[in-house]
Amino acid sequence: MNTPWNHALFPTLLSLWVGSFLFFSACSMSTSDKPPLPDTTFARVLVDLHLLSARSSQADSLPASTDSLFTYHGIQREEFDATLRYYTRHPKHFSTLYNGVIDTLKALSERNWERASAPSDVSDSLRQRRQKNARE
């Protein structure tokens, strides 16, 4: 299945961003055992960054703002950058975490596809059936 270039653009930019942090932070590496942000928070931010990128690639959407995304998650850009630097030094951990991000995005995509492909009357009939069963 071929994907349009704009769907491949964000993962490419993210990879370049991670690579640049690895290159530029080589001299200032700390030996911390834990990333500054918890894995779950960092993974949610990465998922949301992908979704934000996908929305901004649509012609009728508003421009994306990563600052508002960081504010939404209650983190600072510096924390995100420091966590990204941590994972550049721990690529196996990043690979595991990022596989979870990919799985989440696939699940969201499949759920949206199922919702879009279902006939519009199915949801109403299912809702009516559930209401009828609840009364009985």
**How distant, in Å, are the alpha carbons of 50, 77, 92, 120, 130 from that of 66?**
11, 9, 26, 35, 41
- Domain membership flag for residue 28: no
DSSP per residue, 87-123 = HHH-HHHHHHHHHHHHHHHHHHHHHHHHHHHS-HHHH
8 A C-beta contact, residue 78 and residue 32? no
pTM summary value: 0.56
pLDDT digits (tens, 9 = 90+) for 4-27: 545 555 566 566 566 665 555 554
Statement: residue 55 has pLDDT above 90: no
Tokens of 29: 């590496």
pLDDT digits (tens, 9 = 90+) for 70-99: 999 999 999 999 999 999 999 999 999 999
- Count of domains in the chain? 1
- Domain membership flag for residue 81: yes
- Domain membership flag for residue 60: yes
Q: State which residues form the domain around 97.
A: 35-135
- Domain membership flag for residue 5: no
- The whole-angstrom separation of Cα 39 and Cα 55 is 24
Statement: residue 62 has pLDDT above 60: no
pLDDT digits (tens, 9 = 90+) for 102-136: 999 999 988 887 777 666 554 555 555 555 555 55
- Domain membership flag for residue 69: yes
